[in-house]
Amino acid sequence: MLILSLYIACFILLLVIYKIVIKRFIATNEHIKTNTVTFGDESAIKPNRTASVLSILTLFFIWCAFTGSSLSPIHAPGPFTGDTSFSYTASNANHEIDTAQVFIRVNPVNEPLTIPSPANNDSNAFTKNDSAKVAAYRSVLIRVKKNDMGGKEKGYLITQINGQPIKPKQTVQVENGEVSLSTKGSLSFTPNKGWQMEPIWLPAPEAVFTRLIEITQDGYQNVSLFENIGWSLLRVIAGFLLGCIVGIPLGYAMGLSSWFRGWFDPIVEFMRPIPPLALIPLVIIWFGIWESGKISLLFLAALWIMTIAARAGVSGVNISKIHAAYSLGASKLQILIHVIIPNSLPEIFTGARVAMGVCWGTVVAAELVAAEKGAGKMIIAASKFQQTDIVIMGIILIGVIGYGIDILMRVAENKLVPWKGNS
Amino acid sequence: MIQEVNKDTSTSLYINDVSMSFELPDGGSAEALKDISLNLREGELLSILGPSGCGKTTLLNIIAGFLSPTKGSVSLNNKQVTGPSAERGMVFQQGALFEWMNVRKNIGFGPNMQNMPGTQVDQRVDELLETVGLHGFGEKNVYELSGGMQQRVSLARCLANDPDVILMDEPLGALDALTREKMQGLILKLWKETGKTIILITHSVEEALLLGERLIVMAPRPGRIHKEYKLPFAQHAITSDIREVKKMADFTSTREEILSMIWEMEEEIMGRKA
């Protein structure tokens, strides 16, 4: 909730600053804007690249700030680390009351725990000072009565923490943390966690980056990063190509023949809304957990999308073009090759982009279920060992590769279908 | 000067008692065309005019062979029309060019489909580019051209096949008035140079008068020939300025006559609907 409000605050703040900066310093360019109506004119709305950059920077900043990263100068308050202490007051069976100190060292995460040196005791008191160690974000159980004289006797009671009264099951705020008293008379100390994320939830960016370099060099669980990503890509490409090889001709046939349309319509319309992930169990039963299973799954994921895209490509042909080709003396085969196929390319590319996206998502999910190598396998294995940095690194890589695939498809589309949007 | 004509005897295109009815979704049928008979001699320029829904385009599609009439037949050079063929070329309003081919390939499409040798196709395309005034535009993509230039490509593509009859379905309908006038001149020029039989469908009375050696006004419901004219303006326009022809007294009076005829038909339709 705090992070969300901070994010919204950043959004508004940057917007206001941007508007002011534009008005103050770049206002001279304002007269270039000849379009007075932009609100409601969708074509006038181009993504503001400054906003895109700021958006990424904001997310990155929030990530840094809430993980105590050294990349950001400002941080959310972190967990307490260092030495702290509190006092407890106990009464014994003889109704004597004495006070002793508990010294605690809160160690930073992922560092060896050290214990503070025991302090001098007031020899007259029956309560004895204690010392304990704890890692940040964790809590520690301190059995203070263990070394107290008469601590095991009936009637021994801890009554106060830092002078504040306490009863079993109650919690008292102390400096740098909170103390609660168990029914058995033990104290549990939880140091202040601050607002930052524990690395096991969200590691700092540099930790993820370090892990990326480490895994690039050494691999993870004896599989190199490139092998993991490569296997995922290989499966996607194999499944996608198979889907195209079967789906596109099928789509053309459905667009050109009423028998094909009638025969395959129920199958396609039935299979289309089924998410490929729902097929994983069946595919595993039929094809096993090895490559054939995953590739069949991706094939099915791509098949219907490509079929429907090719079918739409055929139905999208302007009938004038077909009539023109016939009256220019073209045969059916010539019309298919020279008119229908090129005319359907824009639709096919749109379908291919969707199919690639779906395949990439499906392969990761399929690898989560069962795989020896692959990007999905890497992150599911890392999550089992609570290596959140690898999980995050994997997710970022999957996102970047998916985005990269889409960009490549768009470049190919612009090269191969330059008339799209121009006809 | 203006006279209604009788059947011509030296025919190349023969439309014999053609009727066309479409089935309606409610089970009835609509008569788009009823008993149309029409003969065209070789080299004739016929324009067809009529309010929307009078079946002009249906008639053209039947001649082209895209539709088969429910009654009657069409024959060209004593051969019955059963389907589309390269001897009946067609020019569409717009959107019929192939965007994935450049201008050259669009124009050469017909000859290429008939496996004409490449050098011959190139030569033919070069000639046609010159004819339609697109010299130097051969390598352009068609979507980069203006609407008028695209229609020039359409005309050239149709001519490349050397068809016996050219069917034009509102070829200038999507163009602005100035471009339209230039293109009217081009169509007349092509007609004169090639001597092709041309059937032109249009919504514009002026265009129909100017480009029709012969003009047919069709009436709707059922689509039928309402009136036929034999006109001198196309010949005039070839030898003199189009703008001058459009100012001729005969031209304007015929235009007014036809306009009021079509207005009456439109009003009748509106009345029937209300």
Q: What's the CATH code of the domain at B12? A: 3.40.50.300
Judge: A329–B113 Cβ closer than 8 Å, yes or no. yes
Non-local (6+) Cβ contacts of A403 within 8 A are none
Asked if B196 has any chain A CB less than 8 Å from its own CB, the reply is no
Do residues B267 and B199 share a domain? yes
Helix (H) or strand (E) segment spanning residue A406: helix A388-416
Non-local (6+) Cβ contacts of A45 within 8 A are A38
Do residues B193 and B265 share a domain? yes
User: What's the total number of domains in chain B?
Assistant: 2
Do residues B178 and B47 share a domain? yes
On whether the CB atoms of residues A92 and A126 are closer than 8 A, the answer is: yes
Helix (H) or strand (E) segment spanning residue B229: strand B224-230
List CB contacts (< 8 A) between B168 and chain A: none
Per-residue pLDDT for B146 more than 60? yes
Please give the CATH number for the structural domain made up of A206-416: 1.10.3720.10
Judge: A342–B98 Cβ closer than 8 Å, yes or no. yes
List CB contacts (< 8 A) between A313 and chain B: none
Asked if B115 has any chain A CB less than 8 Å from its own CB, the reply is no
Between CA A189 and CA A179 the distance in angstroms is: 5
Q: Which residue range forms the structural domain that includes residue B242?
A: 1-84+166-274
Q: What is the pLDDT of residue B4?
A: 40
On whether the CB atoms of residues B214 and B230 are closer than 8 A, the answer is: yes
| The residue to which tokens 């920077």 are assigned | A57
Do residues B208 and B238 share a domain? yes
Do residues B105 and B23 share a domain? no
Q: What is the pLDDT of residue A31?
A: 55
List CB contacts (< 8 A) between B96 and chain A: 318, 320-321, 323-324
DSSP track, B13-33: EEEEEEEEEEE-TTS-EEEEE
Q: What is the pLDDT of residue A119?
A: 64
Q: How confident is the model at residue B207 (pLDDT cuts 50, 70, 90)?
A: confident
Per-residue pLDDT for B8 more than 50? no
Closest CB to B96 among A320, A419, A422: A320
Q: Which two tokens stand for residue A30?
A: 């304002």
Among candidate residues B128, B162, B196, the one where a domain is terminated = B162
Do residues B110 and B238 share a domain? no
On whether the CB atoms of residues A211 and A379 are closer than 8 A, the answer is: no
Closest CB to A327 among B90, B97, B114: B90
Q: What is the pLDDT of residue B218?
A: 86
Q: What is the pLDDT of residue A33?
A: 62
Asked if B143 has any chain A CB less than 8 Å from its own CB, the reply is yes
Please state, for a pLDDT cut of 70, what percent of chain A lies above it. Answer: 94
- Provide the residue ranges of all domains of chain A, joining segments of one domain with +: 2-65, 82-191, 206-416
Q: How confident is the model at residue B27 (pLDDT cuts 50, 70, 90)?
A: confident
On whether the CB atoms of residues A63 and A205 are closer than 8 A, the answer is: yes
pLDDT digits (tens, 9 = 90+) for B32-88: 888 888 888 888 888 998 877 788 888 888 888 888 888 888 888 878 888 888 888
pLDDT digits (tens, 9 = 90+) for B212-270: 888 888 888 788 888 888 877 777 777 777 777 777 878 888 888 888 888 888 787 77
Show the low-confidence residues of chain A (pLDDT under 70): 26-36, 38, 117-123, 421-423
Per-residue pLDDT for B7 more than 60? no
Crossing angle of the two packed helices A291-315 and A280-287, in degrees rounded to 10: 120
On whether the CB atoms of residues A136 and A81 are closer than 8 A, the answer is: yes
Q: What is the pLDDT of residue A302?
A: 92
Please state, for a pLDDT cut of 70, what percent of chain B lies above it. Answer: 95
pLDDT digits (tens, 9 = 90+) for A360-382: 988 888 888 877 788 888 888 88
Query: Parallel, antiparallel, or unpaired for β B71-76 and A171-174?
Result: unpaired
Find which of B94, B101, B107, B109 to mutate to test the A interface (most A CBs within 10 Å of its CB): B109
Between CA B190 and CA B211 the distance in angstroms is: 12
Do residues B16 and B123 share a domain? no
Judge: A328–B85 Cβ closer than 8 Å, yes or no. no
Closest CB to A327 among B64, B97, B143: B64
Do residues B205 and B230 share a domain? yes
Could you give the count of Cα atoms lying within 13 Å of A196 in the half-sphere of its Cβ?
25
